[in-house]
Amino acid sequence: MKADYTATELLATVASKVLEDGKSVFVGTGLPMIASMLAQRTHAPNLLIIFEAGGIGPRVPVLPISVGDSRTFHEAAAASTMHDVMSLSQAGYVDYGFLGAAMIDWYGNINTTVIGEHDHPKVRLPGSGGANDVGSFCWRTILLMRQEKRRFLKKVDFITTPGYLTGPGAREKAGLPAGAGPYRVITQLGLYDFDEATKRLKLLAVHPGVTIEQIQDNSEFEILIPDHVGTTEPPTPEERRLLREIDPTGMAIGK
């Protein structure tokens, strides 16, 4: 039976549920914005949203074009600066960092810089922006991305934003805050976390209709599979209505 929701709507609702009420989140452009705005309109009304251009605690009316859009300051607690919000992260005041990625490895290192060699790339990607700072200093990093074998790699071509680097203890050895790092990965196939002992990517739940075989087939490396794997909840009619309210032109959600 055909689902009455789109893959993008499912991604947004699953991602929104990762965010907790009363926490703070440093939000990247696109679906992270939508998921954060949806969380604020549903189960997390006291979620403090932070944008790279300096908006702290806004109640954003509709989806901004970017993190620098003037709407990211709507009803904000502070119209601050990029320096200030980065300093908040470095000082340990931001609970979640919410990012997209082009490539990821099994330790949660992400690449948004180049495909191929850095000095002679096959493709140049947008780069870091504030993503390195967000992934380095926010306590828990959430990643939204498409899952394919060419994106889930044993080793990324370039580490734009650190995950667990080479495994347990590597972040701390590099001088990054102890206890911080990748927390969740959400793709069109499932929801993932990271194994506490090995720091490797581990499946938490599949989306409705997705199999374990599809999970493994769309990754170059072996994803850890626990004994119990859950299934994510599809969007409710009310969540779908709110998503259309957040993104009325279909800029990210689609028509």
CATH number of the domain enclosing 159? 3.40.1080.10
pLDDT > 60? residue 126: yes
What are the E-state strand segments in 80-188? 96-100, 103-104, 110-111, 114-116, 121-124, 140-144, 181-186
Residues 6+ apart with CB under 8 A from 125: 102, 111, 112, 113, 114, 115
SS3 label, residue 205: strand
pLDDT of the residue at 2: 58
User: Among residues of the chain, what percentage have pLDDT more than 70?
Assistant: 98
Q: Find the domain containing 143 and state its range.
A: 7-246
Q: Is residue 33 part of a domain?
A: yes
For residue 174, what pLDDT band results from cuts at 50, 70 and 90?
A: very high
pLDDT > 80? residue 133: yes
Token pair, residue 200, equals 């490797």
The residue whose two tokens read 């999970």 is 215
Give start and end residues of each alpha helix (H) in 146-196.
170-173
Q: Is residue 251 part of a domain?
A: no
Q: Is residue 252 part of a domain?
A: no
Exposure letters 38-61 (e unless 16+ CB within 10 A, then b)? bbbbbebeebbbbbbbbbbbbebe
For residue 246, what pLDDT band results from cuts at 50, 70 and 90?
A: very high
Q: Is residue 58 part of a domain?
A: yes
| Phi, psi dihedrals of residue 210, rounded to the nearest 5° | -90, 140
The domain total for the chain is 1
The mean pLDDT value of the chain amounts to 93
pLDDT > 80? residue 227: yes
Answer with the residue of higher pLDDT: 163 or 129: 163
Q: Is residue 128 part of a domain?
A: yes
Q: Is residue 235 part of a domain?
A: yes
Q: What angle do CA 118, 31, 208 make, to 5 degrees?
A: 105
pLDDT of the residue at 250: 83
Query: Is the entire prediction scored with pTM above 0.95?
Result: no
pLDDT > 80? residue 168: yes
Q: Is residue 255 part of a domain?
A: no
Catalytic residues: 52
Q: Is residue 55 part of a domain?
A: yes
